[in-house]
Amino acid sequence: MASVSERMAAAPSARAAVDAAHLHRAIFVGIAIFLAVAPFLLYPVFLMKVLCFALFACAFNLLLGYGGLLSFGHAAYLGTASYICAHTAKVWGMPPEVAILLGTAAAAALGFVFGSLAIRRQGIYFAMITLALAQMVFFFSLQAPFTGGEDGIQAVPRGHLFGLIDLSRDTSLYYVVAVIFLVGVLFIYRVIHSPFGQVLKAIRDNEPRAISLGYATNRYKLVVFTLSATLAGLAGATKAIVFQLASLTDVHWTMSGEVVLMTLVGGMGTVFGPMVGAAVIVTMQNYLAHLGAWVTVIQGVIFVICVMLFREGIIGVLARRLKRPL
Amino acid sequence: MKTGRMLLATALVALFAGGAEAQVSVKLGVLNDRSGTYADLSGEGSVIAARMAVEDFKAKDKGINVEIVSADHQNKPDIGSNIARQWYDQDGVDVILDVPTSSVALAINQITREKNKIFINSGAAASDLTGKQCSPNTVHWTYDTWALANGTGSAMVKAGGDTWFFLTADYAFGHALERDTIAVVEKSGGKVLGTVRHPFPGSDFSSFLLQAQSSGAKVIGLANAGGDTINSIKQAAEFGITQAGQNLAGLLVFITDVNALGLQTAQGLVLTESFYWDLNDETRAFAKRFAEKSGGKMPTMVQAGVYAGTLHYLKAVEALKDKDSAKVMAKMKEMPTDDPLFGKGQVRADGRKIHDMYLFEVKKPEESKGPWDYYKLVATIPAAEAFRPLDQGECPLVKG
């Protein structure tokens, strides 16, 4: 009898999960189709910027939304990767794919080191440690001779992908960036729906309970921290190729703040929220640029409205309305 | 019937006459900081200056249609380069003007070259724009770090300030500024008694200022920028350094900084600029008209540079009746420059615009006769000596 009622209870939730998976697949297909036609409707360089920041925000969301860890130093990984990528592409003459991989690897290594220090503390202390370490990276970037100080690394060649595809054409580069973005977010999607992701959510919701169930929570936290840093690095390295420059903006603490803003506006802990958040913020920075000082004011007002009225973010509210996880 | 035909004929003649006057449409984009540190220095004032240049040139009567757009790059190179690409690729912008902040300016420099458009920089200090990274599509109008270091360094030594102590921001920019100024000071026969590096960005300069004070140097050179310079000047005033007879020399200070500091704090500071509104009748006339449009603010040298650069560009377009980038750039370099704000000058092969620079000292509060009456002229650095010699910039355009 008991087993029947258990099965009855389990069935709808299993069906819901399958439903959600179908929905998500449909959305991903929708995104892929949109990305395929977007450069005919919108300016490709702008789209590439949105994609880089969307990937950055998704990587951050993996840590904050699913790991429950608020890092306030994610600019360090974005910026390090973009410096390494720019330097290897420009000075060492690496092809773009190798430069991006080297940048990403540098961010991964940095994430591992910083992560293993930061996860020893929780809450505000965790955030402060990540911030402090990121400030050290900023200082290093300011001082190190290869970063060019406040001038940054300029005139990074876009090069030829695999020696074949000329990336100096905006459209070809756009499709490369779109593929990198899709691979990145699908990887994140896979991670959060894997057993590893389930444990991660358990740790986020109740860490002592996860420990009592026998999970080595620190190891999980370190892995997710490193993954997040790596993907942030992927975004940063790609951005360096897109804009052909790496500068202090990418390692500055305001960049760490901006990614928090993007994630919160879009919807923390949702799959698609950070993408929407990044698109909203980047679009504002870009299309409201002629309003001058008002951009930052509007950005602030939107953030306040978002926090006061819909704390789950745009996609979070949408998901609640639709009663579906997004 | 006959009158009707006459009318038609007249209309046709008028139409053809209008068509015969070659119409050139150009679009100018003013890209600068409209919300941050450099908003006062460039910002909306630069847009006003560009509009005034178009008006004064009477572009419409000369068959040139000018449209001006503007945007805020927020001092971020990625935002700036995104806007610039969009302007060039989609919005049909022909020229980008102003662009303070070195990192953004260098990025726009590259994009402009790639897209074969024209970049007339006024706001940025980076001397690399006409040095290692020089481009056939860039004109650097108003000033650069070399000119500021040179002007302040040499003219101060000549004026008797022959012993120096440097307060330097500890990063590449500060080091470069310090190195360039030391070279000039020593070449002019001065002596450097010492240097001290302060962290960037810094807030407490007291210990560094005390070292500078006790060094006994006649001049304390501030090899820093922005907030650091403001803070060090404020704290120097609290120590009474200038009142005690030492001179503060700002190597990257603008009139807007002096305005923000107030004369009480900034008095006695010496600095180099390429334009001051109260230099002569022509600059005063321009400044008066400018102030009417900008709510009483006087033009800065950066805004003056946007005005003069726009004027020179329009002259080249008028002469050619064409806006082809290569032709216009060649014309701008070939034609000597002449405008009411910077006087006569030229654009060199490396893109550097050459004109006089001026060494100013900030007045004491009792010497000032009204708002914006801030400077007294100490020395004029003639155009020939004011900028880095053509062969020392390592600009590939010059060698080739």
In sequence order, which residues have a C-beta less than 8 Å from that of residue A188 and are 6 or more positions away? Answer: A58, A59, A61, A62, A231, A271
Strand extents, DSSP E, chain A: 160-161, 165-166
> Å from A300 to nearest chain B CA?
14
In chain B, which residues have their Cβ closer than 8 Å to the Cβ of A244? Answer: 81, 107, 110
The verdict on A148 touching B (C-beta cutoff 8 Å) is yes
Nearest CB to A292 within list B72, B81, B82 = B72
In chain A, which residues have their Cβ closer than 8 Å to the Cβ of B73? Answer: 289
> Å from A159 to nearest chain B CA?
14
| Same fold flag, B23-143+281-355 and B151-273+357-386 | yes
Per-residue pLDDT, B1: 47
Instruction: Tell me which residue has tokens 């060094």.
Output: B215
DSSP character string of B221-239: EEE--HHHHHHHHHHHHHT
**pLDDT tens across B276-312, in order?**
999 999 999 999 999 999 999 999 999 999 999 999 9
For the CA atoms of B340, B341, B345, B347, the dihedral, rounded to the nearest 10 degrees, stands at -120
**pLDDT tens across B169-209, in order?**
988 888 888 988 999 999 999 999 999 999 888 889 999 99
The answer to whether B78 contacts A148, with C-beta atoms less than 8 Å apart, is no
How high is the mean pLDDT of chain B?
90
Q: How far apart are CA A312 and CA A242, in angstroms?
A: 32
In chain A, which residues have their Cβ closer than 8 Å to the Cβ of B116? Answer: none
The verdict on A154 touching B (C-beta cutoff 8 Å) is yes
Please say if the pLDDT value at position B224 is more than 60: yes
Residues B241, B184: contact at Cβ < 8 Å? no
- What is this structure's pTM? 0.85
The answer to whether A292 contacts B106, with C-beta atoms less than 8 Å apart, is no
The verdict on A296 touching B (C-beta cutoff 8 Å) is yes
Residues B202, B234: contact at Cβ < 8 Å? no
In chain A, which residues have their Cβ closer than 8 Å to the Cβ of B172? Answer: 142-143, 145, 148-151
Per-residue pLDDT, B78: 87
> Å from A284 to nearest chain B CA?
11
Per-residue pLDDT, B10: 53
The answer to whether A244 contacts B86, with C-beta atoms less than 8 Å apart, is no
In sequence order, which residues have a C-beta less than 8 Å from that of residue B193 and are 6 or more positions away? Answer: B163, B164, B165, B215, B216, B217
Per-residue pLDDT, A4: 47
Q: Name the DSSP class of A245.
A: -
The verdict on A142 touching B (C-beta cutoff 8 Å) is yes
- Report A:202-241 residues touching B (Cβ under 8 A): 239
Interface test mutation site (partner B, options A51, A147, A245, A295, max chain B beta carbons within 10 A) = A245
> Å from A292 to nearest chain B CA?
5
The verdict on A5 touching B (C-beta cutoff 8 Å) is no
Please say if the pLDDT value at position B22 is more than 70: no
B124 to chain A: nearest residue by CA?
Answer: A151
Q: For residue B320, how many other CB atoms are within 10 A of its CB?
A: 15
Complex-level ipTM: 0.81
The answer to whether A244 contacts B81, with C-beta atoms less than 8 Å apart, is yes
The answer to whether B78 contacts A249, with C-beta atoms less than 8 Å apart, is yes
Per-residue pLDDT, A307: 84
Per-residue pLDDT, A145: 86
Q: Is domain B23-143+281-355 given the CATH code 3.40.50.2300 in the classification? A: yes
Strand partners, B362: B375
Q: What angle do CA B30, B35, B37 make, to 5 degrees?
A: 100
Per-residue pLDDT, B36: 82
The verdict on A243 touching B (C-beta cutoff 8 Å) is yes
The answer to whether B107 contacts A296, with C-beta atoms less than 8 Å apart, is no
In chain A, which residues have their Cβ closer than 8 Å to the Cβ of B40? Answer: none
In sequence order, which residues have a C-beta less than 8 Å from that of residue A189 and are 6 or more positions away? Answer: A24, A28, A271
> Å from A148 to nearest chain B CA?
7
Q: Count residue pairs from A and B with Cβ separation < 8 A.
A: 111
Per-residue pLDDT, B18: 47
Please say if the pLDDT value at position B136 is more than 60: yes
The verdict on A283 touching B (C-beta cutoff 8 Å) is no
Per-residue pLDDT, A148: 83
The answer to whether A45 contacts B89, with C-beta atoms less than 8 Å apart, is yes
Per-residue pLDDT, B6: 56
Q: How far apart are CA A289 and CA B88, in angstroms?
A: 16
The full set of domain ranges for chain B reads 23-143+281-355, 151-273+357-386
**pLDDT tens across A272-293, in order?**
999 999 999 999 888 887 776 6
In chain B, which residues have their Cβ closer than 8 Å to the Cβ of A243? Answer: 77-78, 81-82, 107
pLDDT per residue rounded down to tens, chain A (326 residues): 444 444 444 455 777 778 888 999 999 999 999 999 999 998 999 999 999 999 999 999 999 999 999 999 999 999 999 999 999 999 999 999 999 999 999 999 999 999 999 999 988 999 999 999 999 999 999 888 888 888 889 889 888 888 888 888 889 999 999 999 999 999 999 999 999 999 999 999 999 999 999 999 999 999 999 999 999 999 999 999 999 999 999 999 989 999 999 999 999 999 999 999 999 999 988 888 777 667 778 888 888 888 888 888 999 999 988 888 88
The full set of domain ranges for chain A reads 21-253
Nearest CB to B102 within list A43, A150, A170 = A150
In chain A, which residues have their Cβ closer than 8 Å to the Cβ of B86? Answer: 43, 45-46, 286
The CATH topology of domain B151-273+357-386 is Rossmann fold (3.40.50)
How high is the mean pLDDT of chain A?
90
